[in-house]
């Protein structure tokens, strides 16, 4: 499937020893539709994850964290077929496990520029078909990257 873009929101609680927990919401995604011989299918994806993380001690202003999580991966497909009578919309939700690494540079006391990468596996795998044509298989693996501003209080 083609690359997609989505907003990401995270709420974390960390302890002084570097261990913490976080809730993550990604979505809805925006991106190109999938094209098939019968028309197009527009996908919307959402991810919700609960993670545990470890932030090892590193010299300031640098920050680092490693995470492991579990949650869900939801995909909705809306068909826009040439024959509108055949158009169908459907969705599915799968279990998701993920691993991630985040690095940051603190720019002032409570704010940091954050960059991260993560990978996840969805079970069962999400498959998008149009008639007899296979358009995409999603969720094994999921690969993502983020760039953002992080506020710590």
More confidently predicted of 36 and 53: 53
Sign, CA torsion 86/28/116/146: positive
Closest to 89 (Cα-Cα) out of 137, 37, 33: 33
Share of the chain above pLDDT 90, in %: 55
Q: Which residues contact 84 (CB under 8 A, 6 or more apart)?
A: none
Average pLDDT over the chain reads 88
Determine the 3-state secondary structure of 85 from DSSP. helix
- pLDDT tens column, 55-71: 999 998 999 999 999 99
Strand segments (E) across the chain: 8-14, 19-26, 34-36, 39-54, 62-81, 89-108, 111-123, 126-130, 133-138, 142-151
DSSP type of residue 32: P
Q: pLDDT digit string (tens) for 90-119?
A: 788 999 999 999 999 999 988 999 999 999
Q: Which three-class secondary structure state does DSSP give residue 110?
A: coil
pTM (predicted TM-score) = 0.85
Q: Strand pairing of 34-36 and 39-54?
A: antiparallel
Residue 145 token pair: 């990257």
Give the chain's largest Cα–Cα span: 62
């Amino acid at each position: 499937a083609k690359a997609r873009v989505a907003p990401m929101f995270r709420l974390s609680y960390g302890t002084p020893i570097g261990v913490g927990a976080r809730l993550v919401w990604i979505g809805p995604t925006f991106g190109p539709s999938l094209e098939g011989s019968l028309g197009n299918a527009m996908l919307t994806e959402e991810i919700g994850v609960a993670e545990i993380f470890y932030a090892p001690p590193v010299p300031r202003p640098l920050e680092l964290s490693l995470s492991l999580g579990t949650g869900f991966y939801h995909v909705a497909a809306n068909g826009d077929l040439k024959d509108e009578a055949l158009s169908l919309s459907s969705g599915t939700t799968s279990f998701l496990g993920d691993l991630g690494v985040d690095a940051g540079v603190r720019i002032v006391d409570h704010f940091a520029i954050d960059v991260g990468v993560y990978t996840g596996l969805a079970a069962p795998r999400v498959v998008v078909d149009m008639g007899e044509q296979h358009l995409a298989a999603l969720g094994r693996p999921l690969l993502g990257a983020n760039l953002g501003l992080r506020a710590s209080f």
